[in-house]
Amino acid sequence: MRQLFYTPHGLELQTDAPEPQIAEDDDVKIKVEYCGVCGSDLHFLRKEMDFLVLADTDHYPLGHEAAGYITELGPKATAKGLKVGDPVIYYFNQYCGKCHYCRNGQEHLCTNIKSNMVAMADYIVTGEQTVFKLDEGTDLAKAVFHEPISVCLHGIDLAKIKPGQSVMVSGGGGIGLILLQLAKLSGATELTLSEPIAWKREVAKKLGAVHTIDPTAEDVGEAARRYTGGLGYDVVIEASGSTRACPGALDAVGRGGTLEFFAALYDVNYDFPLNLQAAFFKEVTIVAGVFQSPYAFPRTLGLFKVLDIDTLMSDGCIFEAEQYQEAFEAQMKGKTIKSVLKF
């Protein structure tokens, strides 16, 4: 079986990885057809995650944005009416249901969380509770966007956008452009994307951005006040993962506004230069988050049908599994919004 790993030497596609088998009675085995490259995966290519994943193993599996077909069901995988041959996506986290956070309705903060991020492979096995059936005929290459949509939906829930509020998103990657669409659906006004790559700013306009900002060519705070009548934005979501974007995001938020740092893995050694006096007098609410919420994931099934996924699937974004290096590099260099591996 083919499976992509991160090793001390970089990315490696093994062709003889052991094929996973049903182990629990409620397990589901899935033939992966496509798996998206997450922005978090790019940190492996830059060797920024070694401290986290190579402490206990020298082969760390990758992938969590997968879509495929069921090939086998455990004898007790009957709660959802799933059948062999069904097109499905999966939710990669499993929660204990017993810790303080699980019992408080915050399962995504579970202290005993188990992550099944092994989907850049020909097959995966996961619990039935994490599997969601897709409509027949769903384009499985596009279906990999369900997972990042669910992440972004959690981000929108945290931001608490109200209809009529002005919103800026920083970062025009897959997460940023999905957040932009969800903010529009939430009733955002003066919707703005801050992004240094010109073609991604054009994509943002197609997706509903009223304004775009090139942070390499103009001061983000000044542009924010120009587009909001001198007020600054009610909500600013920083989703680029670039430490260079963080000060501008704070400058762009208005009095009484919300600044959210979301779904971005910043340099572990980066300390945000927060001007507490500015935040104090602005009365800024600062929130941060990256995790999926189990309550958000089922809602993606409907949102997938109304969001513009076609525009996010830039030309040449689908790569054969053996082209994993090209896929990762294309996304890292801003040539694709999301690269997708075909297995």
More confident residue, 143 or 47: 143
Mean pLDDT of 128-132: 94
What is the pLDDT, as a whole number, of residue 82? 98
More confident residue, 242 or 197: 197
With beta carbons less than 8 A apart as the criterion, state whether 297 and 91 touch.
Answer: yes
Q: Which range among 98-112, 211-225, 287-301 has the greatest average pLDDT?
A: 211-225
Place of tokens 């096995």: 125
254-272 confidence digits (pLDDT tens): 999 999 999 766 677 777 7
Given a cut of 60, is residue 5 above it in pLDDT?
A: yes
CA-CA distance, 49 to 46, in Å (whole number)? 8
Strand, coil or helix: what is 162? coil
Given a cut of 90, is residue 57 above it in pLDDT?
A: no
Mean pLDDT of 52-63: 74
What is the pLDDT, as a whole number, of residue 51? 54
CA-CA distance, 257 to 230, in Å (whole number)? 14
**CATH class of the domain at 3-145+309-342:** alpha beta
* pTM of the complete model beyond 0.85: yes
DSSP, residue by residue, 60-120: EE---EEEEEEEEE-TT--TT---TT-EEEE--EE--S-SHHHHTT-GGG-TT-EE----S
CA-CA distance, 126 to 105, in Å (whole number)? 22
> Cβ of 343: how many Cβ atoms within 10 Å?
21
Domain 149-289 in the same topology as domain 3-145+309-342: no
Angle at Cα 144 formed by Cα 289 and Cα 136, nearest 5°?
Answer: 130
What is the pLDDT, as a whole number, of residue 189? 94
Given a cut of 90, is residue 213 above it in pLDDT?
A: yes
What is the pLDDT, as a whole number, of residue 49? 61
What is the pLDDT, as a whole number, of residue 263? 74
Q: State how far the alpha carbon of 42 is from the alpha carbons of 34, 93, 241, 264, 265, in Å.
A: 17, 20, 11, 11, 10
The pLDDT-based confidence of 7 (bands split at 50, 70, 90) is confident
Q: What single letter denotes the amino acid at residue 152?
A: C
What is the pLDDT, as a whole number, of residue 48? 67
144-178 confidence digits (pLDDT tens): 999 999 999 999 999 999 999 999 999 999 999 99
- Give strand pairing partners of 39: none
29-45 confidence digits (pLDDT tens): 999 999 999 988 887 77
Sequence spans of domains, the chain: 3-145+309-342, 149-289
What is the pLDDT, as a whole number, of residue 56? 65
Strand, coil or helix: what is 276? helix
The pLDDT-based confidence of 59 (bands split at 50, 70, 90) is confident
What is the pLDDT, as a whole number, of residue 43? 77
Catalytic residues: 40, 43
Burial class of residue 318, CB neighbours in 10 A (0-12, 13-18, 19+) = middle
Provide the CATH number for the domain formed by 149-289 in this structure: 3.40.50.720
Locate 295 and state its tokens: 């309550």
